Structure 1
Amino acid sequence: MPESAYLAGPMVAILTIAVLAVILYRGFQHDEQTPAPVAPTAPSTDDYGLLASVAVVRTLADATLLREHLHSAGIRATLATAPDGRIRILVFADEVMRARRLVG
């Protein structure tokens, strides 16, 4: 067998390592023009998505009583604690007016 056949394997390995080194070097380079990622801002404490606040009370007993009153009228309701410790009664947006009349 010619000597060139024995050199083909190591040459392919060295070439593969060189290509991988170039790809990794370019992949880990940081562009000065690329801005740093910005951390997402915390959502507002008044944002409850599809739910809207119907009432705000101070005690869990009052909140539970209002929620049960709304449930007895067929309105789905849930509770959420605000950062200041007060408890909000939340309902879906399409039932807000009806719920406020019942609670009001």
Structure 2
Amino acid sequence: MLWMWVFGSEKKKLNNRDYPLWERILQGPSDDIMKIFLMDMYEEEVSNDVAQYLNLELPILKQVLIQLKEAENREIQRVINKYHQQHRLLSNMLNCRTSPHIETSV
């Protein structure tokens, strides 16, 4: 669902008959005056998490995305490392338990 946010007013849901490019042209080229954004069709309000980013400049948003991607990659690597550690531990335990015990009788 496309929404339009105009500086100094409420957000407006763009319906199927609206043309986002036309709305953009009507408001002028400045990103400070109007922004168009996507929102989940079942949501009525912009969450506070999203609202804090609406007024940020594009270079700042790009930097935020880079930092989020780096944090995501660190978390992925942490999970992979933990998986390998647990895999080694379980493999060692299984190898110890499955080693053949030979009984000898005298």
Q: TM-score, normalised by structure 1?
A: 0.29
More strand by share: 1
Which structure has more RCO (C-alpha within 8 Å, separation ≥ 6)?
A: 1
